[in-house]
A and B are shown apart, each in its own frame.
Chain A
Amino acid sequence: MSPTISCDSVYKIFGANANKLLADSNGSVDAKQFQEAGCIVGVNNASFDVEKGEMLVVMGLSGSGKSTLLRCISRLTDATAGKILVDGEDICLMNNKQLVELRREKMGMVFQNFALLPHKTVIENIAFPLQVKGVSTENSMYKALEMVELVGLKGRENYFPRELSGGQQQRVGIARSLAVEPDIWFLDEPFSALDPLIRKEMQDEFLRLQGVLNKTIMFVTHDFDEALRLADRIAIMKDGIIEQLDTPGNIVLNPATDYVKKFTEDVPREKVLKIESIMDPKDTNASDNLKVSKDDIIESVAEKILNSKEIIKVIDPKDSSEVGSINPSKVIKVLFGG
């Protein structure tokens, strides 16, 4: 089956003569050079796939082109060059009508600053995508009410955005983006305007939702902890270039470039690594009292393992078969170094 999103050498360059400069450069774009020529490089040669049901987290410093990449894929802006396939269809070739159709049926987006319509109440904001689609008022309100419940805003349907806290506003944004039941869900730093406590709460909420909905997701964030909690894979961007795109574990263990290395240096490994990455082969001495899954993040089971003081069996969560063993001393090594 073809991937849900597929990007092939996508470029986005801002500036008057971007097209000409890009054509002259033969695909190797140097951000500095372009800047001297009066162009800003937003996305530089991005190629990657996102599979159905996968969550790709895009990271990078401010100005690294994360939002621009998302905008290209949702065609809020036109990519300067490259091919972007969504469910096998090239969106760069779509006309306005097809594009409206695509957004109405397949895509949902959550914005960093909520972007709620100030003149509409909570329920009207959520029903808005349905109403522009032509769903009857009654049906769209019914559906919107369902969404209100899903994001836990029941009782606040008739509030205006300005009467809500940041966390509540973002719930409305999430509900709105989900109202049309999109397959693809874009989230551009959805939680970065929230304070840490609420952010944590919203992340849990988000994971719960994703557990239920299982959508294909591109999620932009600044926050490595957030990325680690959520991601199937992480893409790290710098000056428009995707420096590395891999699983969290690989990014931390095998950084592809110095930049990625620096980026991940301070990340505590136990937060990233799965048991799998430090387990030993099957061991007949392993105790039967305790089993851990190979997909468990080390940090989450470290206490258990250390308390048991014996070698523990590691199993595959799919069929509960034994796949290896783990020695507490290995865990100590990861936790305390040495």
Chain B
Amino acid sequence: MDKNYLETIRNSKPAQFGILIFIFLILYFLIPQSENNYLWRLPSVLKGIPLAINNVIFNALYEWFPLKVWDPVFEMYEEKAAFREFTKAVSQGLLFLITVVRELLLGGDKIIDVFVSDSWLKENDWLSWPALPWTATTVGAFLLGYQLNGIRLGLLGGIGALYISVFGNYVPSIQTLSFVLITTPICFVLGLSFGIWGYLDKKVETALQPVLNVMQTMPQFAYLVPIIALFGLGDHAGSIATIIIATPPMIRNTILGLKRISPEVVEAGLMSGCTKPQLLFKVLIPAARRDILNGVNTVIMQCLAMVVIASFVGAKGLGLNLKIALNSLKIGKAAEAGLCIVIIAVILDRFTKAWADKQKDYFENLTFFQRYKLLIIFAISVVIFSIIAFISGGYFDKINYLYVIPIEKGLTIAHYIDGAVDWVWETFFYSLNSFNKFLLTQVLGPMKHAYLGMPVIATFTLAMGAAYIVGNARTALIVGGMLLFIALSEYWDRALITMYMGSFAVIMASLNGIILGSIFGRTERGGRILLSFCDFFETFPSFVYLIPVIFLFNITDTSVLIAAIVYATVPATRYTVWGLKSVPLSLHEAGTMSGVSAFQRWTNIEIPIAFPTVMLGVNQTVVFSLQMVILGALIGTEDLGQIIFGALSRTKDGAGVALTLGIFVSLIAICVDVIVRNWAEERKKALGLA
């Protein structure tokens, strides 16, 4: 070949991509589909992995480190595995804590039961902790909001609580809240500790990074079966699943916050004569306060996003109600439960953000009553409302509405929603259905078919080639290695389906996000409004997106994909706005002076400069899309998610299957992440932004 020609290719990425796609297509059409052709599909030599993982778990549970434990009932020593005793202790401890909070708010006698004998409790009917009346809770929510950020936040809290109570969702909401109240502090302490450790010790941070990457990209479902195996079913299991999901962002936020502290501030602390603990508690943690509290906010949001999934392992509350409603296709009911979760999420989100921004006034000179005014008002209202509720108990027969309005008796608009859905169905059935059919048969079907018809060698060439072009040989090897792991299992076809759904969602969501962001993000005001929309949509737990689409498109790939696209559009939009904001004013002016049209400005100035930032958004989009695609298993799909979900009912190797496939999904996400991140870095360097 001509030397000049080679040189051009070496310097032109588009040319390299062109050649890569050409090779890919040749491989795609040349490799015959046959079971024995290793270029078509690799042999599933790693078939045994799920079972092996499972065996490890069960060995750990029943055989490792046997301890002699005194059994008081049989009055003899018994051999018990240490690990099992440990998981038992953790389960009981968590369950106890959750029950305490729950009973404090809802009343009951389970906690008292712990301290007195059963028979005595049965004889004394009066012995029961009184429930907190919903009226008092509503006042409490108002006062807390008022204290944090004035009357508007107070009204948000109060009206939210009022709605929840009057619509009969008080009990499940409090159950969910107690779950959040116990889980959040645990995540906080764990996240803060690991974060500090990672900050202090570079080695720990390096070791944490890949673990956090996997944990944050694993589908939440994947943890459920192993958790059931280890901890059993119940609220505590839900709490543990949530802790696993919600702690990584807390760790990241802590490390980020600590790293952001200027080294001079640390040195100032040292020069002030701080000892090591003083430096940590008086300088580092307070100086990183904002980021750490943002971490707490993320944890709370994750807790709420997990409630439905946690209900699969036995967590009670709104999540369970929503799951049941979804299973029986009761749209109205599901929407109401979903709305309650969103309300709680919004309230907690605004409350914690207000708390994070609140600066303490050290020098206000207040008397005891001034300082604790609101707390005193709350205490008084609790007493008054309790007395009223108690006294008026005689007026109601059976149900005392002044304590709790039960779900069957609460107001409801479920039938209106159902009616509206029916109406939409009847009116638009034809168009919805034909759109759905069109999409399934003309777009999704062929796309899925194309993915499944891809020889394994072609997939590897494409992925590793792309990684090589944007990165180097090492990047290519990392990507190849991770894919190889999946290809050697028996789930490659399922993984291809996951990839098809994921890539469709990612492409559509990215397009949406970039277009939305470009249209509105070009003015300061538009950008701000769009970002606050993003904030708003981000407070919705992921499964909430599934509710409306199921009703419109039934249980099909379309529903899941539309939910995924909507859900994943949020980060794509957000990063596009950020990226456009980063275009320097001088460039805009230079563009104006050279007389570019709006469109030219967009294609020639804004998009290239914003590109690296936009790519980071696309990265997020991948994670969001995959999460939703896997979550789609809830309503029925046929990708990896479905098997992970199905593992819930596999007794023999469920835990192993769920974990293995969870890691597969995570690997897919990480592969894309590696490629996209390298690409963004390279563009950044090329633009001189790095």
Q: Which A residues contact B (CB, under 8 angstroms)?
A: 71, 74, 76, 96, 100-101, 103-104, 107-109, 111-121, 124, 128-129, 132-133, 157-158, 160, 173, 176-177, 180
Of all chain A residues, which has the CB nearest B261? A118
Taking a contact as CB atoms under 8 Å apart, the answer to whether B262 and A115 are in contact is yes
In the complex, chain A residues whose CB is within 8 Å of the CB of B362:
121, 124, 158
With A and B bound together, what is the CA distance between A65 and B262 in angstroms?
Answer: 19
B264, A117: Cβ atoms closer than 8 Å = no
Enumerate chain B residues within 8 angstroms of A108, measured Cβ to Cβ.
271
Interface residues of chain B, those whose CB is within 8 Å of chain A, are 262, 264-265, 267-276, 278, 282-283, 286-287, 289, 359, 361-363
Contact A119-B289, Cβ < 8 Å, known A112-B264, A113-B262? yes
The residue from A107, A109, A119 contacting B287, defined by CB atoms under 8 A apart: A119
User: Nearest-CB distance from B481 to chain A (Å)?
Assistant: 29
- Report yes or no: A104 in contact with B273, Cβ–Cβ below 8 A: yes
Known A-B contacts A121-B362, A158-B363; A129 and B272 likewise in contact (beta carbons under 8 Å)? yes
| Residues of chain B lying within 8 A (CB to CB) of residue A100 | 273-275
Contact A176–B264 (Cβ < 8 Å): no
Distance, CA A333 to CA B269, complexed state (A): 52
How near does chain B come to A184, taking the closest CB pair, in angstroms?
11
Q: Is there an interface contact between A76 and B271, defined as CB atoms closer than 8 Å?
A: yes
For the complex of A and B, 6 pairs with smallest distance between CB atoms: A104-B273, A115-B264, A129-B272, A115-B268, A109-B271, A119-B286
Complex interface: chain A residues within 8 A of B278 (CB): 132
Q: How distant is A91 from chain B, measured CB to nearest CB, in Å?
A: 13
* Complex CA–CA separation, A189 to B272 (angstroms): 18
Are A115 and B265 in contact, with the CB atoms below 8 A? yes
Given A112-B264, A115-B265, A117-B286, do A103 and B363 touch, yes or no (CB 8 Å)? no
Q: Bound state CA distance, A9 and B509, in angstroms? A: 63
Please state if A113 and B271 are interface contacts (CB–CB under 8 Å): no
Instruction: Name the residue of chain A whose CB is nearest to the CB of B285.
Output: A119
A115 with B267, Cβ < 8 A, contacts A121-B362, A124-B362 known: yes
A103-B262 in contact (CB<8A): no
**Which residues on the B side are within 8 Å of A113 (C-beta)?**
262, 264
Q: Are A133 and B273 in contact, CB atoms less than 8 angstroms apart?
A: yes
Q: Is the CB of B267 within 8 A of A132?
A: no
Contact A180 B264 (CB under 8 A): no
Residues of B within 8 A of A117 (CB): 265, 268-269, 283, 286-287
Residue from A103, A173, A180 in contact with B270 in the complex, judged by beta carbons closer than 8 Å: A103
Extra A-B contacts (20), CB below 8 Å, given A104-B273, A109-B267: A100-B274, A100-B275, A101-B273, A107-B271, A111-B264, A112-B264, A114-B264, A115-B267, A116-B265, A117-B265, A117-B283, A117-B286, A118-B287, A119-B289, A121-B363, A128-B272, A128-B282, A132-B272, A157-B363, A158-B361
Bound Cα distance from A101 to B274, whole angstroms: 9
Bound together, the chains give a CA A101 to CA B283 distance in angstroms of: 18
- A103-B272, A176-B272 are contacts. A132–B282 as well, Cβ < 8 Å? yes
A129 close to B264 (CB less than 8 A): no
C-alpha spacing A177/B276, complex, angstroms = 19
In the complex, how many angstroms separate the beta carbon of B44 from the nearest chain A beta carbon?
Answer: 45
25 residue pairs from A and B, CB less than 8 Å apart: A76-B270, A96-B275, A100-B275, A103-B270, A104-B273, A108-B271, A111-B268, A113-B264, A114-B264, A115-B262, A115-B264, A115-B268, A116-B268, A117-B265, A117-B283, A117-B286, A117-B287, A119-B289, A120-B286, A132-B272, A133-B273, A157-B363, A158-B361, A173-B268, A177-B271
**In this complex, what residue of B is CB-closest to A106?**
B273
The residues of B that contact A133 with a CB separation of less than 8 Å are 273
The residue in chain B whose Cβ has the minimal distance to the Cβ of A105 is B273
> Do A103 and B271 touch (CB < 8 A)?
yes
For the complex, give the distance between the alpha carbons of A76 and B264 in Å: 10
Chain A residue at minimum C-beta to C-beta distance from B361: A158
